[in-house]
Chains A and B, each alone.
Chain A
Amino acid sequence: MKHAGGYIADSRIRAIEWLPWAFALLCYYAAPSYLSLGSYILTMILFALSLDLILGYGGIITLGHSAYFGTGAYVAGIVAVRLTGEPLVGLLAGALAAGVLGLVTGMIILRTRGLALLMLTLAITSVCFEVANKATSLTGGADGLGGFSLLPILGLFRFDMFGKTAYLYCLAILFASWWLVRKLVYSPFGASLTGVRENNLRMHAVGAPVYQRLVASYTISATLAGLAGALLTQTTQFVGLNALGFQLSGELIVMLVLGGVGRIYGAFVGPLVYLVLQDYLAKRFPEYWYFGIGAMLVLVVLFARGGILGIIDAGILRLRRKS
């Protein structure tokens, strides 16, 4: 049972694909006191989406995606402190910086695969972490970077304490990114990426520029991760070193795999389930919420390959067979 993770000729948006957006808007009205959690979930969905592009479609397993997320976050913060409080400028600067870092590091490390690649990504994010820790005059070091304020978005929408603007802002950026990723995945470029994941050697054999494709997708993915990082900075108006920590990368992989890899919407379901459950458990059992999350991960792996969306697939399949 292979999931549909690649080139599909019919790229029109199906009705069900509007469901997440309707749900997100419903949450805005139905749960106004959960908007700060909501913004965070939207940000992590964007981050997971960026990972899905290289992990799900390109087959690159990385523990270092927070390098780009953190770069975006810090650049957005530094822009707000030193240059301008205009959010869109910070957002673009963060994404751009992360993209450049992604291009440079990607060119260096994407010649390797497997464990070596995993460790290289991990080492890169650790180096970034130490650089940010050392460069206290720019980043605030372990104290973090804060104390900046942002202008209203486009001069119209002020960031409010209840996180209404932040939520809609995140939603809009996520929507645009989703549109882009979807276009990309359903294009010949996306198809060639899937090809690389499924059979690297054969792609070489048919003359596909594998390395270039990987670097290109890695760069795009890093840019999106930077965008997510910048969003986090702007919605919380603070950046801390943990944005660069490899723990965040690990958590991200967990969320994405939990949702389901290589199918775009896994990146939506995973963070939502993971973070809502974490929020719920952490409130009730602040010391032991880890256990519940861990048990969920173990059960999902043992009883359902392909994450939560995999379970749903299997369920639908079963229903169809019965009827």
Chain B
Amino acid sequence: MQDFLSSLVNVAFHGIAYGMILYLISVGLSVTMGLMGFANLAHGVFAMAGGYMMLSAMSGLDVPFPLAIVGAFVAVALASMVLERFLYSRLYSAGELEQVLFTIGLIFMSVALARLVYGPLPQPVFIPGYLKGQIHLLGSGFPAYRVFLIVFSVALAGLLWFGVERTRWGAMVRATVDYRLMAQSLGINTARLFTLTFGLGSGLAALGGALGAEIIAVQPTYPFEHLVYFLIVVAVGGLGSLRGPFVAALLIGVFDTACKYWVPEFGSFFIYVATIAVLLWRPEGLFGKAT
């Protein structure tokens, strides 16, 4: 019994930690895809860029970890805003297929560029000493870095929720998403708003890529390899909701971990079967608006 309880605690902790990594990386996609309605399959490109930025800043320039994370967020957000102005914005009116083709093209190009600059191997990640080791609580040990990830993600989720639901900017974004023309005629500069929102979404991706690099290795094919996970989190959570991806990531993380722990032989099936079940039950996702 004691053993079972301790494994329950362990599975819950690691599941939550894994879910939070998924959340960190996917929430940005939920912002661009859910709020702006853009099928941005190239989301992983920004996450990868964030990871590379942080790692090169730390290993090349000896920038401390927190600063490298902030730097990755800012740099990728700014770069993506330029991209949005010159490229993405031309495609808001285009169909989903064109958006898909365009963003896949971007993935292809970024994969080749990353390979050119960083080579094909995954980048080494060295987290700072104060986040290494274990934190002992209630008789079991938990890896400190994962504890940090959980705390950080929860804080971030709270901040985002506040930003979108409680601030003037959030209200403008929601209004623009609901009815762009109306928002425009009310005097909202929707183009600028979208640029900022896109920057935020990509910056969040960079944050996720950088913080998650310890667990999800950064290598040139990153944007392809993890695309499925981002999409699953967003689809299961529901488009246009901020709670959605948080809950979805949490559920996927916990159940995936539990499944791997107790029935490893079905480890690979779980996430897909769960996705099928949720989407057949609620096609709009757990928290999505019914269309």
Contact = CB atoms under 8 A, between A and B. Distances in A.
Contacts of A291: 108-109, 112-113
A294 B106 contact: yes
Interface stretch (A12-20, A121-129, A230-238): A121-129
A160 interface: no
A291 B100 CA distance: 17
Nearest to B225: A247
A48 to B, nearest CB: 14
B284 A293 contact: no
B123 interface: no
B101 A258 contact: yes
Contacts of B213: none
A301 B105 contact: yes
Contacts of B91: 301
Contacts of B61: none
Interface stretch (A26-34, A83-91, A111-119, A162-170): A111-119
Contacts of A298: 87, 102, 105-106, 109
From DSSP, what is the main secondary structure of chain B's interface residues?
helix
B112 A294 contact: yes
B195 to A, nearest CB: 18
B228 A246 contact: yes
Contacts of B113: 291
Interface stretch (A144-152, A181-189, A249-257): A249-257
A261 B279 CA distance: 27
Nearest to A297: B105
A301 B98 contact: yes
B105 A294 contact: yes
Contacts of B110: 294
Given A119-B231, A254-B104, A301-B94, A130 B268 contact: yes
Given A116-B279, A119-B275, A294-B112, A126 B228 contact: yes
A15 B228 CA distance: 44
A194 to B, nearest CB: 15
B291 to A, nearest CB: 8
A172 interface: no
B173 interface: no
B108 A119 contact: no
Given A116-B285, A130-B272, A293-B108, A122 B231 contact: yes
Contacts of A295: 105, 108-109
Nearest to A134: B268
A319 interface: no
In this complex, which of A126, A133, A290, A295 has the most chain B Cβ atoms within 10 angstroms of its Cβ?
A290
A287 interface: yes
A247 B112 CA distance: 17
A288 interface: yes
B102 A297 contact: yes
Given A126-B272, A127-B273, A288-B115, A120 B100 contact: no
Given A61-B96, A61-B97, A297 B108 contact: yes
Contact of A119 (B87, B90, B232, B269): B232
Nearest to A250: B104
Interface string B107-120: 11111110110001
Interface string B258-291: 0000000000110011011001100111000001
A296 interface: yes
Contact of B108 (A123, A253, A294): A294
Contacts of A126: 228, 272
A302 interface: yes
Name the interface size band of chain A.
35 or more
A11 to B, nearest CB: 26
Given A127-B273, A257-B98, A302 B109 contact: no
A127 B272 contact: yes
B228 A302 contact: no
A130 B224 contact: no
Interface string B231-271: 11011100100000000000000000000000000001100
Nearest to A113: B283
A297 B101 contact: yes
Interface string A279-314: 000000001111101111110111001000000000
Contact of A290 (B96, B109, B280): B109
Nearest to B95: A305
Contacts of A288: 112, 115-116
A108 interface: yes
Given A127-B269, A290-B108, A297-B101, A120 B228 contact: no
A294 B291 CA distance: 33
Given A116-B283, A123-B272, A297 B104 contact: yes
A257 B96 CA distance: 11
A288 B120 CA distance: 11
Interface of B: 87, 90-91, 94, 96-98, 100-102, 104-113, 115-116, 120, 224, 228, 231-232, 234-236, 239, 268-269, 272-273, 275-276, 279-280, 283-285, 291
Interface of A: 55, 61, 108-109, 111-120, 122-124, 126-127, 130, 133, 246-247, 250, 253-254, 257-258, 261, 287-291, 293-298, 300-302, 305
The 7 A-B residue pairs whose C-beta atoms are closest, nearest first, are A294-B108, A297-B105, A291-B112, A294-B109, A116-B283, A298-B105, A301-B102
Given A116-B235, A289-B112, A291-B108, 14 more contacts: A108-B280, A109-B280, A116-B279, A119-B231, A123-B232, A123-B276, A124-B272, A254-B101, A261-B97, A290-B108, A291-B112, A295-B109, A296-B105, A301-B91
